[in-house]
Each structure stands twice: as structure tokens, then as C-alpha cells.
Amino acid sequence: MNGGALAFTAQTAAGRTCPVDYTYSPAVFDRTADFAADILYVVGGLYGNLAALAEVERLAAAERGPVSIVFNGDYHWFDAERHWFAEVERGVARHRVLRGNVETEIARSADIGAGCGCAYPEDVGSDVVTRSNEILEMLRLAVPIGARRQIGQLPMHCVAGVGGMRIGIVHGDAAALAGWRFGQDELDDPKHSNWLADVRRLSTIDVFASTHTCLAALRDFALAEGRLTVINNGAAGMPNFTGTRYGLISRIATTPSPQRPVYGLARDGLHIDAVAIHYDQQAFLDGFLACWPPGSPAHASYFQRIAAGPAYSPAQASMP
């Protein structure tokens, strides 16, 4: 699709519209796995938190076998300062990396009117959408020109083989980079059951690991087309629950986690868990406030969550 048509689609509602080049068919996952692993960490929503990155790598080093780490998008966000941005780039480059909407939009050579590319649903307030678009614009200033092409060429999804099971790793959902149908509310809505059945049939994926919605979820579906598990880690770089100060990653492995998972399930020889990332809160907060003081868009949208977590609980995230 040409750039002019893409801009026309997105400019109708910057931050709410999903650009056409974000979309794909669930059938793209019906392919040979891109890699195999016995222990897989899926790290979504790092948001520039270097302390969380260090903790993810520390946990991986403590495992009883080699770990494949995949960053599935939005690893940039708060790092709107050149040195901070560059350090995040160097850190994630040690692992497999997918792009999220944040990376996709900062990599564009021209603004197509998509804003942050979050494709926020209507129940998200317009003030939140506006601030996210402003954060994206400030972050774009920290991106070296030479890095844009490299970031823009990152894949949107991949397939991993773990213990004979097929794992689809995405940023949003099984049909769009910024899709919201792997969010807790959407997964629990019966009207999406036919879509999930189509996803299982077309993708031949056993487990999808996602992020994007910024709230964690784990759901398991017994479908006529086969069993389907969806785990959304919420955010690795911010708290996910009320009164907590840890991020979450998704661990999918043939062996139990040496860490006690926050919640999880076992199926077909796999352990599918949400594992806490107890990062250095003060180090992250200091960096955040230096870049985003009171009155800034990121402070208005995220400081309360960083300090005390969102109004959400592990019981809401885990299997009902």
C-alpha cells in the first residue's frame, strides 16, 4: 500500500487507528518454527527500563539450561534521551527482537498520522491518547537516523518450537501488530470465540505470547480446532498489579521455573508461567523522573502506575 493511502487511513484518529501495514493473517504462523528452545522468555513492554533488562538477564543466567529471550515490542518508550535510547538498543540486541507499534512508528522516515500506533479502543480517554502521541514524538527525537532503518526491518512476529509445541510470539494479537484481542476483557468476551477458533485453525499455533495491552492475562481455550493458550505478560518494565513494583515476563519451558511464578499452568509437557521481574525500582524511577518530570506527558500517564501499580490483580490476570 502506498504511503499516501496509509496516511489517509491513519490520520483519521492518530493513536486510535491501526495502520494497514500492521495487519496480517493468522495463517502467517502456519510455518516452520523460526527457532527451537527448551526455555523461552518473552519480554514485552520493557519501555526502556534498563534495570528490568538486567534482571531478566540475571534470571536467565540462573536457569538450569540455555534460555532464548525474545523482546516482543515496545522495548523503547520512556528512553527519550539519546544515551538512554542507545543503551537500550545495545541491550536488546543481545537477544531476539520483534518490533512493536512504538518501534514501528519511530522507525518511519515520515509521520503517516498514526501517532503512537497504539490503536487505542474507544474506552481509553482522549487525554491518554494525546499524551501517548506526544511521548512518541519526543522519543522520535532520540532515535539516530541510522538506527531507523534497522529498527524498521525487525519482524512483527515469530514462531518458536518448545517441547514439540508451536509458540506464536506477537506484539498485539494474531492478526495485528497493535491488536487488542489478546487483552483480558477481549479474551473473556464470548463474542470472540469464533475468532479464536479461526486463529487456532489457520495458525496451527498451540500457545500465543503477546503484550501491547499493558495488562497481563493468561487464558486457556478448549476449541474444536484444538487447544489454544494465550499468555499476555502485560509489561516487563512496569508494575502490573495494585501495590506491587515488579514487571512480568512470560516463561514457556519444558522444565519448571526455578523462580516461583506469580501464576501459570502446565499443558502437554510445557510450563507456561508469568514470572516476576523485581527490578531496581529506584534506579528506574530516577531515570524516568530525569527525563519525564511532573507536568510531562509520560509523568501524567505513567507515574502513578510506576509508583504503585495499576488497579488490577493477579486473580484478574490468571485463569478464572
pLDDT, one tens digit per residue, over 101-126 is: 999 999 997 776 778 989 889 889 99
pLDDT of res. 112: 66
122/180: higher pLDDT: 180
Angle at 258 between CA 160 and CA 250, to 5 degrees: 35
Report how far residue 184's alpha carbon sits from residue 3's, in angstroms, rounded to the nearest whole number.
33
Percent of the chain with pLDDT over 70: 96
Return the pLDDT at 180.
Answer: 96
pLDDT of residue 12: 47
Instruction: Give yes or no for a contact between 168 and 204, defined as CB atoms under 8 angstroms apart.
Output: no
In this prediction, residue 6 carries a pLDDT of 36
Indicate whether 299 pLDDT > 60: yes
What average pLDDT does range 201-221 have in this prediction? 97
Distance between CA atoms of 148 and 164, rounded to whole angstroms? Answer: 36
Sheet holding 263-267, edge to edge: 96-98, 68-72, 39-43, 247-253, 270-277, 263-267
Over the stretch 78-89, which tens digit does the pLDDT of each residue have? 999 999 999 999
Give tens-digit pLDDT for 143-155: 998 899 999 999 9
148's grid cell: 531507523
Listed in sequence order, the residues at least 6 apart from 75 whose beta carbon sits closer than 8 Å to its beta carbon are: 43, 45, 46, 47, 48, 88, 92, 97, 100, 102, 103
- 7 has a pLDDT exceeding 50: no
Q: Would the pLDDT of 8 be above 70?
A: no
Kind and range of the H or E element at 247? strand 247-253
> Structural domain boundaries of the chain?
12-317
Domain boundaries 12-317, CATH class = alpha beta
Q: 22 vs 25, 45, 177, 311, CA distance in Å?
A: 11, 18, 5, 29
Question: What average pLDDT does the segment 218-222 reach?
Answer: 97
Question: Please, what is the average pLDDT of the chain?
Answer: 93
